[in-house]
Structure 1
Amino acid sequence: MKEKKRAAMNNKTKVIPIQWDATFFFERAVRSLDRYHYDKALKYFRRAVEYEPDNPVNHCNMAGILSEMGNYEGSNEILRRIVEEMDPEMTECHFYMANNFANMEMYEAAEEALVRYLEEDGEGQFLEESEEMMELLHYELERPTKLAFIKAREGIYEHDQARSLLEEGKFVEAVRMLESIVEKNAGFLAARNNLALAYYYMGMFDKALATIGEVLEIESGNLHALCNLAIFYQHAHDQVQLKPLVELLAKTVPFHEEHVFKLATTMGILGEHGEAYRHFLRLLKDSTVQSDACLYHYTAVACSNIGRFDEAQRLWLQAGKLDPESKVSSYYLEQLAGVRAGRHPAPTSYHYHLPFEEQFKLWEKSTDAIPDHLKRDPLVRSSFFWALRHGDRHTKLQVIQALGLIADNEVKDALRDFIVEPQEEDYLKRIAIFVLRSIGVHDSLQAVLEGQDTVIEHSRMPSRLPVWEDKWQAVLEAALLRMKKHYDLVQQHDLLTLWIEFLSRVYPDVPKLGKIEGWAAALEYLTAKMHRRAISYHEVSQRYGTSIATVSKCAKRIDEICGIKEKMKMAFPALTANHQE
């Protein structure tokens, strides 16, 4: 008897308890829906309501099933109770009621519910469907719909424009437009969510966080806001706030495709790759998105992070077939072998483009400007703007140069903002000023240099010289014209700095500068030496159309005043000790 009891106890420990809660029954209901088992889905949704009777979403799902089963009156009874007793903010219930009334051929009641939806709903989730229903009601009632205004249309055109600006990476313009929309229509939550993202892309983290907080104050369950907030907390390494939010999102099973996609990508970014995979798989079963290469890439990334390498390979191959011109699939397929072997970790980015570092390498190898598709890519642009605010010194130098090659109005605004930041290094700000001048900004610039508010006029260089002669400018322009294709912007700026230093030290006894090309060639020669680039007097004299003797004479004069060789010896003693001209 004792042996039987002990065996029973041992067997008991092997039983895995099932957690009976609303989420469990919700998932069962969704599974039944996918199989068109409406009776089972209704039963499971009812059980979800029993566990969470105060959750209006569960009631709304039950109403949806009743509608699918043809029980329109029962569906409307639940929907009416939701908006009258549980959550008046769930304005979509009025649209669902309008559908039910239309199916019952109660067109007057359908019109009343539809008008109430359009006049109260600020999100506009069912605008297209509502317009189709209005056409039906117009035909059946033989008159136009009695509609005063559509709340969701307030600022809708401007919002679409702002979203387009965000997609093009024009964040400053998008922010201006979105701020204006939100000021006029405080309840336009989609605009607030996009404004928070625009702030985030620009590196304005505190503003992004505050804006998301405003959305959640108005609608605590807004899924887009909750997903964005989780990503913001992850960026801030705030695990205390992040953990319960991730747990909440992990229990969420969205019904609409847009929400499924948002949650899937968010869980992937948060490192919850199993959850991301589950949601992406739901999307792949939908025939309307099966031709989207991006979705196959996202699912493959999730697979590679949970060890489903064969499936990841199959998905990336499919993405490559759907988008043969893209290099994304082939890059990640090459990386997959290393992931399998444990040589490097699985990719963490769910964005459908090459990793930023890879794109930067391709750009650095190219002799041309940044390709147009990269200039327009909002993720690349946001990486630049983010790094300009939060990167280390070397990264900021790279980014300032890259922005100089993009050279649009957004870039000019970002660099103007950068040069007035008191905490940024003066050298970086001077590079930014040089870039602004090189991309055609000729008006006066406001900057903070050496801790002082400074106005830099176009007619003079950023120096303390009381004058700036035309011949001095001619030397500079002669050098920069020939260096443009062979030296980066930092090196060009260092040439400018060297020229200003020389002139400042010898002023007012500046040489007459009879041979402009000789001085320009000498500046390039010395700049190349400072950056340890191979160059000779012969090479540079030929390019500038002057003699070796002239270049040598001018270079020695600049070196005497500025001490270039001495500085190089101090910085690189081992290299300069063996140097011979």
Structure 2
Amino acid sequence: MNGNYRREEGPRGNVVSLSMDENFFFERAVQALDRYQYDKALKYFRKAVELEPGNPVNHCNMAGILSETGDYEASNAVLLHVLEEVDPAMTECRFYMANNFANMERFEDAEKALLDYLEADDSGQFLSEADEMIELLQIELGRQVREHSVKARWGADRHDRARAMLEEGRFAESADMLENLLQQYPDFAAASNNLALAYYYMGLSNKALEIVEGVLQRDPGNLHGLCNLAIFRRHSGAEGAEEAELLARRLTGIVPFHREHAFKLATTLGILGEHEAAYSHFRRLLAGTEASDDASVYHYCAVAAVQSGRLDQAERLWKQTLKLDPDAEAAAYYLGRLPEWRLTGRVEPVSYHYRLEALRRSELWKRWEERAPEDTPAIRAALLRTLRGGETEDKRRAIQACRQFADEEMQAALRGLAEDGGEPDELRELARAALGPPAEDAEAPDEEPELSASPRFSREPAELPVWEKRWQDVLDTAIRASCAPGDFGLRRDLEALWTDFLRRMYPEVPAISYVEGWAAALDYLNGKLHRVSSTYEEIGRRYGVSASTVGRYVKRMDQVCGIKERMPIPGRDHRKGL
């Protein structure tokens, strides 16, 4: 029990005494939660609060269980006590209170609590969820919510763009944007955590560690920071592995209140090999409504089940994965391997990667052109880390894979390798060959040099020499969801808007890994040009995505295409907008 027992010498021999401190009751509460025994968990959290009343986390855990059991009034009483008596800086308590009020159908009170949260919170932790709640409240109240300011919005839009770049594997661009954002807002913890990830994916491990340690110095309990630090340390030699193990033990004792935190913690624990704890968190996620139709979460839970010796549960979970996503190749592969594992009693290594292609990453390096778009960021990160700190043979293979790239980030890594006198001459020569001829050998020396400070998104459409299948998938999805069979005019407008976006982005079109999200944004913006009033929530239901997802992709497309500038003016033909 993590030091809750101590051995004493006495006349009767060795006696083990049990120290029932706050940590003891916290662990008992977590065990009860794992078994969905909410009454017991609540009792143990109450004891933990009695023993350490100044710890706001225990209070919030207690409030969370009260909310789970439907006692919203009691949950809000605990949250109000935290704000008034324990830690007034825990502004997220106001967001939790707004959720409770909404569940009680006290929508006026929910509005007040939510707006109080938005006006007080500077971290932006629940901004997207707050936007969804605002849409709900406007429906229930039959009016717009009251005028309010959003304290965290100052950097949220730029942070969202940087995070999208990170997800697409554009690590250097993301890092540049986050660095600029943090110069203006140095206490923006989410931006710092994502900057640390960008550095880590680029192979700049020391810079990544420096950033995340700074986050934890300011906020020792920052969950994303702790998770990132554990992963970084795990890959930094023997000394780092020891610290990662200590961090993993600490993380297993945390029970996140919010779904995003629970998912981050579960995946981190899986990476760290703490599969028992990861399994508990994934199960808890699947018990909620938000993850119940997410095939990938079922897969992750199945992997954790196998790794913790639960083959029967894994079989049921992988079958559900395939029911939700028939193309989930990794789930199908492992499901086919289960009979042999049962027969032999030996289980082969199982990966949390959702796509089978990611399991064969070394093979993908040999045939890079066949990569799956969903795996591009992970593979780019692996290539960059390998170029900057891998073994010689791995570097050689990574250089071959990099021949398909022409972006500045990968070329900078290759230049660093080519100029490193500590590397073998053969490897440096391979890097130079991958970079191509030096600048002085290039043709047209009299041409004007390209301006390095040119804007990221050009407003001048480029030609599209290719048409990718994923681009067509987005268009087809939007047409199927929004067009009647004979509505050729609407089809043409959807195609015109989507092609306009792709041309303006080309050749740096983002990896289209979430077809439904892009299709929903295309539908929403095309509706705006036709003066059709729709909400993110309505469009999201049509495509099976969340309102916050629709909003994120809408902002991305509008940033590039300037839809607001082309909104139709009454009395003017709407097609002129296109």
TM-score bucket (shorter structure): 0.5 to 0.7
**Superposed displacement of residue 44, structure 1:** 4.0
Structure 2 residue corresponding to 1:253, chosen from 252, 255, 265: 255
Letter in 2 for 1:179: E
In the other structure, the counterpart of 1:430 is 429
**Superposed displacement of residue 80, structure 1:** 4.1
Aligned in 2, Cα 1:122/1:385: closer, same or farther, shift over 3 Å?
A: same
SS at match of 2:404: helix
| Preserved contact between residue 138 and residue 144 of structure 1 (Cα < 8 Å) | no
Structure 2 residue corresponding to 1:352, chosen from 333, 340, 354: 354
Q: How does 1:27-42 map to 2 (within 5 A)?
A: 27=30, 30=33, 42=42
Are 2:451 and 1:416 aligned?
A: no
Letter in 1 for 2:254: T
Letter in 2 for 1:396: K
SS at match of 2:290: helix
Counting matched residue pairs gives 425
Letter in 2 for 1:49: V
CA distance in 2, matches of 1:212, 1:426: 35
Letter in 1 for 2:175: V
CA distance in 2, matches of 1:75, 1:318: 34
In the other structure, the counterpart of 2:330 is 328
| Preserved contact between residue 276 and residue 304 of structure 2 (Cα < 8 Å) | yes
In the other structure, the counterpart of 1:458 is 442
| Preserved contact between residue 199 and residue 205 of structure 2 (Cα < 8 Å) | yes
Are 2:396 and 1:397 aligned?
A: yes
| Preserved contact between residue 46 and residue 62 of structure 1 (Cα < 8 Å) | yes
| Preserved contact between residue 201 and residue 386 of structure 1 (Cα < 8 Å) | yes
**Superposed displacement of residue 111, structure 1:** 6.6
In the other structure, the counterpart of 2:187 is 187
**Superposed displacement of residue 362, structure 1:** 5.7
| Preserved contact between residue 203 and residue 384 of structure 2 (Cα < 8 Å) | yes
Q: Which has the higher contact order (CA 8 A, sep 6+)?
A: 2
Letter in 1 for 2:26: T
Give the unaligned 5+ runs of structure 2: 1-13, 445-578
**Superposed displacement of residue 126, structure 1:** 3.3
Aligned in 2, Cα 1:214/1:24: closer, same or farther, shift over 3 Å?
A: same
In the other structure, the counterpart of 1:95 is 95
In the other structure, the counterpart of 1:472 is none
Q: How does 1:252-271 map to 2 (within 5 A)?
A: 252-271=254-273
**Superposed displacement of residue 209, structure 1:** 1.0
Q: How does 1:234-253 map to 2 (within 5 A)?
A: 234-236=234-236, 237=238, 238-253=240-255
> Which deviates more from structure 2 when the two are superposed, residues 398-407 or residues 411-420?
411-420
SS at match of 1:411: helix
CA distance in 2, matches of 1:336, 1:143: 54
Give the unaligned 5+ runs of structure 1: 1-12, 445-455, 461-581
In the other structure, the counterpart of 2:204 is 204
In the other structure, the counterpart of 1:119 is 119
In the other structure, the counterpart of 2:146 is 145
CA distance in 1, matches of 2:144, 2:326: 52
SS at match of 2:95: helix
In the other structure, the counterpart of 1:23 is 26
Aligned in 2, Cα 1:208/1:308: closer, same or farther, shift over 3 Å?
A: same
**Superposed displacement of residue 360, structure 1:** 3.4
In the other structure, the counterpart of 1:223 is 223
In the other structure, the counterpart of 1:163 is 163
Alignment deviations for residues 354-402 of structure 1 (CA, whole Å, 9 cap, x no partner): 37572433664x6xx5125258621111111111122222221111111
In the other structure, the counterpart of 2:472 is none
> Which deviates more from structure 2 when the two are superposed, residues 417-426 or residues 338-347?
338-347
Alignment deviations for residues 306-357 of structure 1 (CA, whole Å, 9 cap, x no partner): 2323433443344334333343224334555665566976325322133757
**Superposed displacement of residue 404, structure 1:** 0.7
CA distance in 2, matches of 1:241, 1:80: 37
In the other structure, the counterpart of 1:295 is 297
In the other structure, the counterpart of 1:533 is none
Letter in 2 for 1:23: F
TM-score, with length taken from structure 2: 0.63
| Preserved contact between residue 370 and residue 406 of structure 1 (Cα < 8 Å) | no
SS at match of 1:370: helix
CA distance in 1, matches of 2:405, 2:125: 36
CA distance in 2, matches of 1:340, 1:157: 50
CA distance in 1, matches of 2:416, 2:260: 35
CA distance in 2, matches of 1:296, 1:134: 29
Q: How does 1:57-76 map to 2 (within 5 A)?
A: 57-64=57-64, 72=73
Q: How many percent of aligned residue pairs carry the same amino acid?
A: 45
CA distance in 2, matches of 1:219, 1:53: 20
In the other structure, the counterpart of 2:52 is 52
**RMSD across aligned positions (CA):** 4.0
SS at match of 1:289: coil
Greater Rg over alpha carbons, structure: 1
Aligned in 2, Cα 1:42/1:210: closer, same or farther, shift over 3 Å?
A: same
| Preserved contact between residue 265 and residue 276 of structure 1 (Cα < 8 Å) | yes
Alignment deviations for residues 274-297 of structure 1 (CA, whole Å, 9 cap, x no partner): 111222222233343233232222
